[in-house]
Amino acid sequence: MIKRLDSEVASRIAAGEVIERPSSVAKEMIENSIDASARCITLYIEQGGKASFVIEDDGCGIPFNELPLALERYATSKISSLEDLEKISTLGYRGEALSSVAAVSRMEIRSREKDSESGGLIRCEGGEITLHTESPSQVGTRIQVEDLFFNLPARRKFLKTASAELRRILQVVNDYALVHPELTFRVFSNGKKIMELLPLESVDMTLARKWGDDTPIYSSETVINFTSVKMWWNPIPDSRRTVITIFVNGRRIQDSTIRSAVYGGDSVPYGEWLVILELPAEEHDVNIHPTKEEVRFRRAGDIYKIVFNTARKIFARKYSFSSGNIPQKEQSSVLSFSNMNQPAWFDKSNPMFSTSPWKPSNATEVSGDRVASPDESIFIQGEPYSEQGKRKFIGQTAKGFLLFDFPNGLAIIDPHAAHERILYEEIAASFKDGLATQKLAMPIEIPSALLVEIKMSEKELRELAFEFHDECLVGVPMLRGKSRLSPLDMLRSALRGIELEKDPEKRDREVWWRMARLACRDAVKLGQRFEREEAETLLSRLDNCSNPFSCPHGRPTVFLIEDKKLEDWFER
């Protein structure tokens, strides 16, 4: 039987579409504050917003007699007619945000207009108004949300931990601070100020504040008719991740057209991106989803082209030889490492540490993780490499592969993959042996976006041998094999590892694994020329690895053409 839903059930269904978690509240309330011409926005958060979420602004305020209307669904001051939907210029317009929050929480609003002598106070619980009275208030609006989803226990149990929900809120604040450099944002968590973003002059400066200056930021802008796009790229040398923050006419959205245009450029877009698109209001439809995080472009193909071409210009600037970014020939770093004879300690049954080692054809297992041909091992333990005739370096191919004459065949070594394996295991050995702190010659100022995460994970970071002083990084873990891995890269990797792995017994492994992957970019490049001594040193250090036959990504390091195969080939 079909029947009309009760109004209370319908309101909660509608509220669930708009408010998914505390960060949804943050987004809707910040957008309302921006629409109200606020210059300073302050958030007070308890338990990641699950217990309490307060936002204060110094905007235009809400008239006392309109406070009850502000809590009604589809009541708004942003639009008034059907024609207005064709040219929406504000972030809010649906009239659902306040009513949706009120339906799933205990909410209080205090507000006063600039020209009013007194303000107003309204309270509601589960959407029902319990108090509406005049009250002394500061100019602007203060909204307090308590016990979010108290009347929707099924939704509440799906919320993440307080720290995880706090990170989502901070991401929303950081994103809007990027495109509104003229505003002040402050965030307090559990009574402590954890973020303060003061006004700056431009988006470029807010990006430098967030991303730091340890890596170059590339940008480009394209304007066609009345449509413009400006894009910034921070190619962070982190794991294979691409983060794209998109704003269309000041609205933070998710859009597959813009994302695919960035990915469709001339290079791999790993790192962080900011895309700001401005176009006439009638050229896109924002009335697609209750959260207003999706839009529909009237000419999606044109939007793709303009973003695609802008991304290509950014890639061209990064890799252009005419811009002064001429890559210099890297000096050999093989001999700069001391030989490390660390005992093997990897657990080969754990796939996290390495993939199955590559084995030559017709090979059989011998002694643990070493691999042998039917006659003998490729690497014979205990054999000194200085003995003539045992491991003779022949030379390099045109591509840069190393050729060795082994007692049982011709060995071809990929020096890049081999060096990756060496660096990977040296970093792993550093964690195994216990971490010490290496003091930095000069303190490094920490980007503001990282300061909040550091405060949330300071104990874990200090256990990993990081040291901080006055919002600067002054010490990092002393790792063998890290080579040119920068201190901020190490810090970012540690923060990501801590975020992903909460178990203290597994956390260190997650952190060193991420750092080791970053160190792989410092491995010698294929094509670099090797002297005999350098090639023999590389081979010696590779033999000391617990798994010399594959790089950390699973690619082979050594290919052996056995003498018998050669003899068969030449019909000997």
Domains and CATH numbers, the chain: 7-197 (3.30.565.10), 203-319 (3.30.230.10), 343-414+526-569 (3.30.1540.20), 421-522 (3.30.1370)
Query: Taking a C-beta distance cutoff of 8 angstroms, is the pair 525, 416 a contact?
Result: yes
Which one-letter DSSP state was computed for residue 124? E
Residue 183 structure tokens: 């505003």
Rounded CA-CA distance 431/413 in Å is 28
pLDDT the model gives residue 521: 66
Phi, psi of 511 (to 5 degrees): -70, -50
Phi, psi of 552 (to 5 degrees): -60, -20
pLDDT the model gives residue 238: 53
Rounded CA-CA distance 252/262 in Å is 17
Rounded CA-CA distance 276/151 in Å is 38
Helix, strand, coil proportions of the chain in percent (round to 5)?
A: 35, 25, 40
pLDDT the model gives residue 572: 79
3-state DSSP assignment of residue 393: strand
pLDDT along the chain (572 residues), means of 10: 68 66 92 93 94 94 91 72 66 78 92 91 92 92 93 84 90 94 95 92 92 84 93 76 90 90 82 92 79 84 93 82 36 29 34 35 36 40 45 90 90 90 78 76 84 84 86 82 69 79 67 65 83 90 86 82 86 80
Query: Taking a C-beta distance cutoff of 8 angstroms, is the pair 126, 3 a contact?
Result: no
Query: Taking a C-beta distance cutoff of 8 angstroms, is the pair 138, 113 a contact?
Result: no
| pLDDT tens digits along 212-249 | 877 788 999 999 989 999 999 988 765 567 889 999 99
Rounded CA-CA distance 337/483 in Å is 9
Rounded CA-CA distance 486/463 in Å is 19
50 by Cβ neighbours in 10 Å (0-12 / 13-18 / 19+) ranks as buried
For residue 93, the Cα-to-chain-centroid distance in whole angstroms is 31
377-389 burial by CB neighbour count: b if 16+ within 10 A, else e?
bbbeeeeeeeeee
pLDDT the model gives residue 347: 37
pLDDT the model gives residue 307: 94
